[in-house]
């Protein structure tokens, strides 16, 4: 959290220019293409990374489908998670986010730039509407990030919690590829007391195609995706431990 405040303060002089620019492009998609708006979001992330001493390495980008829409399901560690994915995901993608957390300054601008969906966890009807909207977008070739854990613990040290089965209804409705995304050390950026330089990792795992998950229940899909992410994180951390000895 301290780094988050530090990054905001160091970029405060940019706010009078950047925030209106983000709002202007988000409010006028007829003037600014999805690619232009996405690049503006990535530019803002780049500024945060430089001023905050944040480095992000991406692996497995060759696993991302070249055509069509897909759902990315990452583990959730903190405020930097979506930023790390957007920064390393070159093709424009969007995000499904908790409505209650989506309207603070900067977060609101990012969500609007990405044409993200705000899901109200307390309103079943609204949540169903969002699921249907995202499903249609994915069928039309759009890519989304959805965090199936639903939340995160402060300073969770790469621990992966259980995934919520309902998060995978969209995948079943669309029959689109599921991309498990393993985030490592992302919590150290804004959700720990660490203030030194930090390197995070984004691992795009092999797609899980409908042929593999279509016959499964949502609880089974959730467990399958979680297990693959957990396995990847464990393997990477074991290698890191050996290298440090």
Residues facing 59 on adjacent strands? 203
Indicate the DSSP class of residue 116: -
Whether the per-residue pLDDT at 158 is higher than 70: the answer is yes
At 193 the pLDDT is: 85
Instruction: Tell me the C-alpha distance between 10 and 245, whole Å.
Output: 36
* More confident call, 156 vs 137: 137
Q: What's the mean pLDDT in 164-179?
A: 97
User: Is 139 in contact with 176 (CB distance < 8 Å)?
Assistant: yes
User: Among residues 190, 205, 157, 150, which one has the least CA distance to residue 54?
Assistant: 190
Q: Which domains does the chain have, with CATH numbers?
A: 1-237 (3.40.1130.10)
Percent residues over pLDDT 70 in the chain: 99
At 245 the pLDDT is: 64
First to last CA, the chain: 30
pLDDT, tens only, 220-240:
999 999 999 999 999 999 988
Q: Which of 1-15, 87-101, 173-187, 190-204 has the lowest mean pLDDT?
A: 1-15
Whether the per-residue pLDDT at 183 is higher than 90: the answer is yes
Q: What's the mean pLDDT in 170-183?
A: 97
Strands (E), 42-190: 54-59, 70-74, 94-98, 117-119, 143-146, 178-184
Q: What's the mean pLDDT in 35-59?
A: 97
pLDDT, tens only, 6-31:
898 999 999 999 999 999 999 999 99
């Amino acid at each position: 959290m301290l780094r988050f405040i530090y990054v905001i303060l160091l970029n405060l002089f940019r706010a009078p220019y950047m925030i209106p620019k983000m709002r202007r492009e988000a409010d006028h998609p007829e003037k600014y293409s999805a690619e232009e708006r996405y690049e503006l979001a990535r530019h803002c992330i780049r500024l945060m990374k430089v001023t905050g001493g944040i480095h992000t390495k991406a692996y497995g980008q060759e696993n991302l489908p070249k055509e069509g829409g897909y759902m990315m399901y990452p583990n959730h560690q903190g405020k930097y998670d979506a930023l790390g994915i957007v920064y390393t995901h070159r093709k424009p993608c969007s995000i499904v986010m908790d409505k209650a957390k989506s309207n603070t300054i900067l977060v609101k601008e990012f969500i609007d730039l990405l044409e993200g969906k705000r899901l109200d966890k307390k309103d079943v009807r609204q949540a169903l509407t969002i699921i249907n909207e995202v499903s249609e977008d994915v069928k039309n070739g759009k890519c989304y990030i959805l965090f199936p854990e639903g939340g995160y613990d402060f300073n969770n040290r790469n621990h992966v919690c259980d995934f919520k089965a309902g998060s995978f209804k969209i995948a079943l409705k669309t029959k689109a590829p599921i991309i498990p995304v393993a985030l490592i050390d992302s919590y150290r950026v804004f959700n720990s007391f660490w203030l030194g330089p930090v390197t995070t990792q984004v691992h795009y795992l092999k797609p899980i195609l409908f042929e593999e998950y279509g016959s499964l229940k949502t609880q089974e899909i959730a467990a399958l995706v979680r297990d693959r992410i957990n396995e990847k994180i464990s393997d990477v951390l074991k290698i890191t431990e050996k290298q440090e000895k």
